Every structure is written in C-alpha cells, then in structure tokens.
Amino acid sequence: MHKTLGVSLGLAVLLASGGAMAGKDLDAIKAKGHVVCGVPTGTAGFALADSQGKWVGLDVDVCRAVSAAIFGDSEKVKYVPLTAQQRFTALQSGEVDMLSNNTTWTLTRDTALGFDFGAVTYYDGQAFMVSKKLGVKSAKELNGATICVQPGTTTELNLADYFRANKMTFKPVVIEKVEEVRAAFFSGRCDVYTNDSSALYSTRVANVPAGQSPDDYIVLPEIISKEPLAPVMRHGDNQFVDIVRWTQYAMIEAEEYGITSKNVDEMLKSENPAIKRMLGVTPGMGKALGVDEKWAYNIVKLVGNYGESFDRHVGKDSILKIDRGLNRLWSQGGLQYAPPIR
C-alpha cells in the first residue's frame, strides 16, 4: 500500500508539473533564468563532462547557443545527462526544456510522441564497426554475426530491417548502459558494434581499452540509415521552438558568411545587408523571434559558427577527426543549409 501510494504520488507530481509548463516554456525558462538541456550521458565529441566537470561537445554547443540567444550568456544552461531510454519521458514530463541528445528526427516522434524538432545539427547514419582481425570488408558479409547494440533508439529497428532486407541473420546482444555495450564489444562478446557512425568513431578513438589501438577496428563503409540528429522540444510553445531552430540556422549562416567568434566584432561594421540584419545592426530579426536584437551576435561571439563548433569537438581539431561529409555547407557539397534570416 505504502509503495503504491509513493509511486502514484511521484507520478502525480510528474504529470502535474508536465501540465503546468505546457505552452509557456519560454516564459518559464526566462523566469528561472536558465535552460534545462537534456544531453547524452557521455559521448566523446558530442557531450562529455571534462576533468573540471564542465560539459563540452557539439550537442552541448547547441544548448549554449540557445542560452546565448535567450540570455546573452552561453553558460545559463543546466545539463541533465539522459540515456536514450529516459530522454523522451524527461522531456514529456517537463523535467528538461529541450533535448540536444543525438535524437533522430522521425515522423512518429514528431507527431504521436508530442514533440517538435529544431534544425538538423548533425547528419548522421548508422554503421557497423568490426575488429580488423575478422577480415570483413563490407556489411554484406556479416551474415550470422553477433551484434552489440544499445536499446531504445532507432538503431535496433534499422539493424533488423537491414538484415531482413539482405536476407541475413544475426544475434543481438542488447545492453542498456553504453559503457557495458562497449565493454562487451571490445571483449569479443560480439563481432560487431552498431550505432550512428559518429558514435562509432567516437567510441573507436575514446573508449578502446588499454592494450588495443583504434587501428585494430574499422567502421565498415555501409551507412544503413538516415539519422538526422536534431534538438527536440515539447509541442505547445512555438516561440521557443522557433528560437531553437533559428539558433542553429544562425550558426550555419554565420559560417556561410565567414563570421567567426574571432571576427564577429569587425563584422558588425560590414556593409552586407544580410550580415547587418543577422547581427542586429539592422534591427527587426530579434524582435520577430522575441529575443534580444544581438541574439545572433551573441551566439557567434560566445559559441562560434557551425564550422567552428564542428571542428572543435568532432572535426579536424578534435581527437575524433570525423570528416565533415554530409555536414559540409550546401555551398561546399554538403547538406547544411539555412533558410535566409530576413
């Protein structure tokens, strides 16, 4: 009796708080003075607490940029590390304001789960990592393999679909904690580890056990799914959703115009009307979004443009050294394209 009551009360608090927030997310964020951002529990390059306990990574930069746009300060963020399993409930219940959690944008999540997605922050795709010792060159050779996979994502479905489509069989080993999945893979319990390719590169470099080297493992060339990763918000506050979406666009657009965190002050003097509009020299955009006119200036100044953020955390200046690939600007053959800020 006691236990049931406790659980119900907990549930009641959870649901009640969820109700109170709906529709007023931005007001609530402004009132409490910080954004509560759900991030991955620890993926090198995307979100990882450093030795000082400060969160860094590409996902973290999204939260910082939103904070910069709303508060003019990139550090007004409270990070809540969430597993793939916990994240949606945490967002639905109002425990976090937004997710920047390597979440794949899908129709079901956008509709039936009651969410809205921001702009795509990383174009990812699911891939396979194997030990070089196996001598496998293609995912088509994986028939009968044992595959380590983390539950609660689209990963499991893509995996089953791919093997069904290619008339192959596999045995999954499904473990919830990412550390344990990696350990199972590196100890040889599985032949293959599957995840988004970004996460595989991250694991290969950052988590390979002592005595083995990243070069002992390869990521197979096949990309078996489309994984556009984007921030997630609850239905109900379009203004907040707009801010998150245009924050990402501002970072992309800044890269396009060559505005970086270093030269943004000089760019204020630019004669280009698009730059003047974006940086708030010509007012209007901030008002339309419901934030300060210097919103984009603050984002670039405090966080950087998209290219800077990418290079710093996952690209050429990081240990991961992931190729920009699909995440190049549209003008350079990639998919990152921002609608005009006007």
Per CB under 8 A, the list member of 27, 140, 157, 332 interacting with another protein is 157
What's the min distance (Å) between Cβ of 276 and another protein?
40
What's the min distance (Å) between Cβ of 164 and another protein?
6
Report the alpha-carbon distance of residue 329 to residue 337 in Å, rounded.
6
Look at the block and give the residue holding tokens 């443009």: 305
The residue range among 108-116, 250-258, 293-301, 317-325 that interacts with another protein, by the rule CB under 8 A, is: 108-116
Q: Which of residues 12-31 bind another protein (CB under 8 A)?
A: 12, 15-16, 18-19, 22
Give 171's contacts (C-beta < 8 A, 6+ positions apart). 145, 146, 147
Tokens of 152: 């609660």
What's the min distance (Å) between Cβ of 171 and another protein?
5
Fill in the per-residue mask, 273 to 312: x = in contact with another protein (CB under 8 A), - = not in contact: ----------------------------------------
Give 325's contacts (C-beta < 8 A, 6+ positions apart). 123, 334
Per CB under 8 A, the list member of 42, 172, 214, 286 interacting with another protein is 172
Beta strands in the chain (DSSP E): 35-39, 48-49, 55-56, 77-81, 98-99, 115-117, 122-124, 126-131, 145-149, 170-174, 192-196, 217-219, 227-229, 232-234
Give 310's contacts (C-beta < 8 A, 6+ positions apart). 58, 324, 327
Assess contact for 165 and 191: CB atoms under 8 A. no
Does position 187 interact with another protein (CB under 8 A)? The reply is yes
Per CB under 8 A, the list member of 66, 159, 224, 254 interacting with another protein is 159
Does position 163 interact with another protein (CB under 8 A)? The reply is yes
What's the min distance (Å) between Cβ of 5 and another protein?
8
What's the min distance (Å) between Cβ of 235 and another protein?
6
Report the alpha-carbon distance of residue 35 to residue 91 in Å, rounded.
13
Residues near another protein, by CB under 8 A: 8, 11-12, 15-16, 18-19, 22, 84-85, 88-89, 92, 108-109, 111-114, 134, 142-146, 151-153, 156-157, 159-161, 163-164, 170-177, 180-181, 183-184, 187-189, 191, 234-236
